[in-house]
Amino acid sequence: MTCFSSADESAHYGFSVCMLLEHYRAQLGWEAEGVVELGTGDATAIAEVVAGLPDLRVRSYDISAPSIEEARANISARGVSDRYTVELGDFFDQADSAGGPRVSTVISNPPYIPAPDRDILMPELWGGVFGNDLVLQLLKSDYDNVITAVASYSDPVTTVRTAEDLGYRVANFLAMGLDFGTYSSEPKVREHIRRLCADGHGWAGDDEYMVAVALFTRNPDVRGDRADQLLNSLQITE
Ligand SMILES: C[S@@+](CC[C@H](N)C(=O)[O-])C[C@H]1O[C@@H](n2cnc3c(N)ncnc32)[C@H](O)[C@@H]1O
């Protein structure tokens, strides 16, 4: 087992989380509550965000032991161990049983690799057959604000429409084009992605896809709904 490694993707995730937390600071209430995170990885991107936002506290979980080890070293090197804590375990088991008041905001660059089964390069990145199992589970976990990466090849229409059914609106998002990396390029995964997209479950180019980091919210103080713009940015035409 290794640690997730994709520098551009992690940087986009960190930058976008920072931008969305800053932009909606007044409405989200994270200064008082902190936020939780599904999937720490090596923690570099969010450690930078924590360093840049002195009022931010993050409680993060990852199922990968090597990731947690690397994350703790990276967090410590950036001097934010007091405000960015990481624990080994399944987010869905741990976050709810952590005690204390429940926070309203969760952040995540979740596993979103679609494949027929979990037998892929890094099994922890498997997002189910359509790639969006974990983001759907997150949306069903009753957080008022879900800041999450949404990939263009992981059935984003189902993700966005499920979010709508659960009462969420897309407040805003930051989208970026990414080249297929180590995990999407695995032949079994690449072929599966090609088939999913041909069947109308997403978009990917020959060697590229889009990822947006979006704020899904049920907070009435955050106005508007950019769900259609989000899907457009992911190259989806319904
Ligand atoms: C795409 S990586 C993102 C890592 C990091 N946030 C980043 O952007 O660099 C997803 C991470 O989620 C972890 N993960 C997968 N399922 C999980 C679960 N149920 N609970 C917590 N972490 C999980 C994986 O081990 C992996 O490190």
Residue 38 CA to ligand 1 center (angstroms) comes to: 6
The per-residue pLDDT for 98 is 66
With a 6 Å cutoff on the Cβ, whether 131 touches ligand 1 is no
Least confident of 49-63, 85-99, 138-152, 163-177: 85-99
CB 90 within 8 A of CB 61: yes
Segments making up each domain of the chain, as ranges: 7-233
Q: What is the pLDDT of residue 99?
A: 66
pLDDT for 1 beyond 70: no
Instruction: Using the atom order of ligand 1, give the atom closest to the CA of residue 3.
Output: 27
pLDDT tier for residue 237 given thresholds of 50, 70 and 90: confident
User: What's the pLDDT at 100?
Assistant: 61
pLDDT confidence of residue 2: 80
% of the chain beyond a pLDDT of 70: 97
pLDDT at 41 over 90: yes
Q: What is the overall mean pLDDT for the chain?
A: 96
Span from the CA of 123 to the centroid of ligand 1 (angstroms): 11
CA distance 143 to 131: 21
Is there a contact between 221 and 153 (Cβ–Cβ < 8 Å)? no
* Distance from the alpha carbon of residue 67 to the mean position of ligand 1, in angstroms: 9
Cα–Cα separations (whole angstroms), residue 40 to 44, 110, 142, 201: 9, 9, 20, 27
124 lines ligand 1 (CB under 6 A): yes
pLDDT for res 3: 87
39 CB within 6 A, ligand 1: yes
Ligand 1 centroid from CA 29, angstroms = 24
pLDDT value of residue 13: 98
The reported pLDDT for the residue numbered 101 is: 63
How much is the pLDDT for 157?
A: 98
**Per-residue pLDDT tens over the stretch 99-129:** 666 899 999 999 999 999 999 999 999 999 9
**pLDDT in the model for residue 54:** 98
DSSP characters over 183-200: TTTSHHHHHHHHHHHHTT
Confidence (pLDDT) at 93:
93
DSSP assignment string, 56-92: --EEEEES-HHHHHHHHHHHHHTT-TTTEEEEES-HH
Fold of 7-233: Rossmann fold (3.40.50)
Q: Is the pTM of this model over 0.85?
A: yes
Interatomic CA distance for residues 60 and 162, integer angstroms: 25
Euclidean distance between CA atoms 195 and 119, whole angstroms: 18
